[in-house]
């Protein structure tokens, strides 16, 4: 299987970046569910501070690959990996890796907004409390900063004690993004973060991704080609677990090198 993995220029941390660069790379990485190899020998270097989209037809392994990055697949019976996945030079599946610390540095946002059935404030404070013993003042400051970063502060600042489930779907998703940002991650994984949202709420999340770009490394799985074209710098096209093509989004969309990419883009399958 042809794998196109152009060398990606790695730039130093831009001004405003939250942390020095810590980047994600797959080296001949595979993930198996029992005998089913859902991700097949993928080699992929994901640059920091940019937005990388993972696209491909249903069942091609997008979520599996994404979830492998912060070891969200750990508890699946029969799940195992081969090859290497590196984050900040460390082997994510290495024996000494601290998974809690990893997940603090690599946050995740899911397809369906999943706030805790708690107050808006506690949704954010909760994750942060797990990691740090903060005083009340610091905690409130974190809540405000995170909600501002997620573009939700103005809408909720007067109702922080309301239950998070009273928010609209789009607001709930931005709350989940705020919750992920509250622990100061370096990487944000998003698995179809807008597929449960209407076009307006989707546009807000896409704007938010554009704002977070340059400060966080964002890896987003999407079924929506227009969304990949709008929000991402790089696009990886997966097909049946194989990485078929990877490169600058503009290039992939206007001039795919592989026929299968083109067929998928033009709606011939998927
Ligand atoms: N928990 C699981 N246990 C066993 N097999 C699984 C599990 N999750 C996914 N798979 C299998 O792994 C393959 C890849 O699934 P995955 O969910 O990664 O695809 P996807 O590209 O995210 O699809 P979709 O676009 O529908 O979300 C599929 O064959 C799927 O059936
Ligand atoms: Mg999926």
Provide mean pLDDT across the span 73-97: 94
DSSP state, residue 14: P
pLDDT tens per residue, range 196-242:
889 998 999 999 999 999 999 999 999 999 999 999 999 999 999 99
pLDDT tens per residue, range 2-51:
333 333 333 445 555 555 556 899 999 999 999 999 999 999 999 999 99
Q: Domain 24-265: which topology? A: Rossmann fold (3.40.50)
* pTM for the whole structure: 0.91
Residues 6+ apart with CB under 8 A from 230: 206
The strand ranges marked E within the chain are 24-33, 36-46, 51-55, 79-87, 90-91, 106-109, 187-191, 217-221, 234-239, 242-248
Mean pLDDT of the chain: 90
Provide mean pLDDT across the span 105-121: 95
What is the CA angle 82-221-178, rounded to 5?
110
Provide mean pLDDT across the span 111-127: 92
The dihedral built from the CA positions of residue 112, 225, 105 and 166, taken in this order, carries a sign that is negative
pLDDT for position 7 = 35
Domain positions in the chain: 24-265
Provide mean pLDDT across the span 121-127: 88
Provide mean pLDDT across the span 249-261: 95
DSSP state, residue 21: -
What span, in angstroms and rounded, lies between the C-alpha atoms of 258 and 243? 11
DSSP state, residue 3: -
77 lines ligand 1 (CB under 6 A): no
Tokens 């554009």 belong to residue = 210
pLDDT at 192 over 50: yes
Atom of ligand 1 nearest to the CA of 65: 18
Nearest ligand to the CA of 241 is 1
pLDDT for position 74 = 92
Record the tokens describing residue 122, joined without a space. Answer: 């506690």
Residues 6+ apart with CB under 8 A from 186: 18, 19, 22, 48, 88, 105, 106, 216, 217
* Sheet of strand 90-91: strand arrangement: 36-46, 24-33, 79-87, 90-91
pLDDT tens per residue, range 151-182:
999 999 999 999 999 999 999 999 999 999 99
Atom of ligand 1 nearest to the CA of 221: 22
List Cβ<8 Å contacts ≥24 apart for 93-99: 99/71, 99/74
What span, in angstroms and rounded, lies between the C-alpha atoms of 69 and 164? 28
63 lines ligand 1 (CB under 6 A): yes
Tell me how far the alpha carbon of residue 141 lies from the centroid of ligand 1, in angstroms. Answer: 39
Record the tokens describing residue 237, joined without a space. Answer: 């096209």
Residues 6+ apart with CB under 8 A from 205: 170, 173, 174, 177, 193, 194, 197
- Percent share of the chain, pLDDT over 90: 79
Q: Does residue 193 contact residue 205 with C-beta atoms inside 8 Å? A: yes
pLDDT for position 263 = 93
pLDDT for position 30 = 98
Q: Does residue 182 contact residue 146 with C-beta atoms inside 8 Å? A: yes
- Percent share of the chain, pLDDT over 70: 90
pLDDT for position 156 = 97
- Three-class DSSP category at 219: strand
Q: Does residue 226 contact residue 199 with C-beta atoms inside 8 Å? A: no
Tell me how far the alpha carbon of residue 116 lies from the centroid of ligand 2, in angstroms. Answer: 22
pLDDT for position 132 = 67
Nearest ligand to the CA of 61 is 1
pLDDT for position 137 = 85
38 lines ligand 1 (CB under 6 A): yes
């Amino acid at each position: 299987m042809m794998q196109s993995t152009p060398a990606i220029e790695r730039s130093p941390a831009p001004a405003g970046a939250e942390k020095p660069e810590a980047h994600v790379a797959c080296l001949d990485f595979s993930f198996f569910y029992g005998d089913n190899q859902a991700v097949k020998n993928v080699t992929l270097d994901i640059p920091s501070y940019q937005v990388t989209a993972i696209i491909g037809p249903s069942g091609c392994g997008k979520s599996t690959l994404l979830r492998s990055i912060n070891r969200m697949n750990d508890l699946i019976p029969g799940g195992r990996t081969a090859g290497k996945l590196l984050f900040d030079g460390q082997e994510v599946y290495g024996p000494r890796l601290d998974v809690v610390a990893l997940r603090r540095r690599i946050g995740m946002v899911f397809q369906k907004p999943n706030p805790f059935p708690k107050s808006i404030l506690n949704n954010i404070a909760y994750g942060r409390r797990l990691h740090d013993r903060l005083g009340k003042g610091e905690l409130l400051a974190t809540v405000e900063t995170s909600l501002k970063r997620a573009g939700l502060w103005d809408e909720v600042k007067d109702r922080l004690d309301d239950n998070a489930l009273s928010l609209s779907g789009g607001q709930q998703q931005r709350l989940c993004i705020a919750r992920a940002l509250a622990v100061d991650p370096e990487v944000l994984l998003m698995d179809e973060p807008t597929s449960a949202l209407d076009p307006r709420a989707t546009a807000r999340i896409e704007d938010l991704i554009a704002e977070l770009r340059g400060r966080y490394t964002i890896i987003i799985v999407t079924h929506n080609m227009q969304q990949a074209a709008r929000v991402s710098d790089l696009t990886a096209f997966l097909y049946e677990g194989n990485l078929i093509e990877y490169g600058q989004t503009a290039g992939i969309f206007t001039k795919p090198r592989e026929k299968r990419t083109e067929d998928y883009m033009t709606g011939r399958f998927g």
